[in-house]
């Protein structure tokens, strides 16, 4: 079983907490790390500086497709970031916890 991390950003804490709780409850993810960040990006011809929430969704390879679909369908942004990080190495006890939690 391979672990996978999906990265996305959200405009506010309420929206990221809502989807995170739903995904953990449904055992689609084992954990979501959430951090407040500052982002600089181009949007609609302008440079934007805004606060966002970075979410690291931790799951298994078998759940990554449904996770991406859930993020896409529930995300408040018109074009959400849904980036996959393939984990090459992870400690065995954490991997076992991840497997048992999803």
**Local confidence pLDDT in tens for the 102 residues of the chain:** 899 999 999 999 999 999 999 999 999 999 999 999 999 999 999 999 999 999 999 999 999 999 999 999 999 999 999 999 989 899 999 999 999 999
> 3-101 adopts what CATH topology?
Alpha-Beta Plaits (3.30.70)
From 18, 2, 25, 31, select the one nearest 71 (Cα to Cα): 18
Q: Tell me, what's the pLDDT at 55?
A: 98
Quick one: which H or E segment has residue 53?
A: strand 46-60
Are 59 and 69 in contact by the 8 Å Cβ rule? The answer is: no
Q: What is the CA radius of gyration of the chain?
A: 14
Annotated domain spans of the chain: 3-101
Are 71 and 83 in contact by the 8 Å Cβ rule? The answer is: no
Q: Tell me, what's the pLDDT at 31?
A: 97
Q: Tell me, what's the pLDDT at 85?
A: 94
Rounded CA-CA distance 18/22 in Å is 6
Rounded CA-CA distance 88/71 in Å is 23
Q: Tell me, what's the pLDDT at 40?
A: 97
Q: Which residues partner with 65 through β-bridges?
A: none
């Amino acid at each position: 079983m391979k672990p996978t991390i999906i990265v996305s950003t959200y405009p506010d804490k309420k929206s990221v907490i809502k989807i995170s709780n739903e995904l953990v409850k449904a055992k689609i993810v084992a954990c979501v790390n959430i951090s407040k960040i500052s982002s600089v990006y181009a949007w609609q011809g302008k440079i934007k500086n805004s606060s966002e929430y970075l979410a690291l969704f931790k799951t298994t390879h078998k759940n990554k497709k449904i996770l991406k679909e859930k993020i896409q369908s529930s995300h408040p942004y018109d074009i959400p970031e849904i980036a996959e990080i393939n984990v090459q190495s992870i400690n065995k006890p954490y991997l076992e916890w991840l497997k048992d939690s999803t």
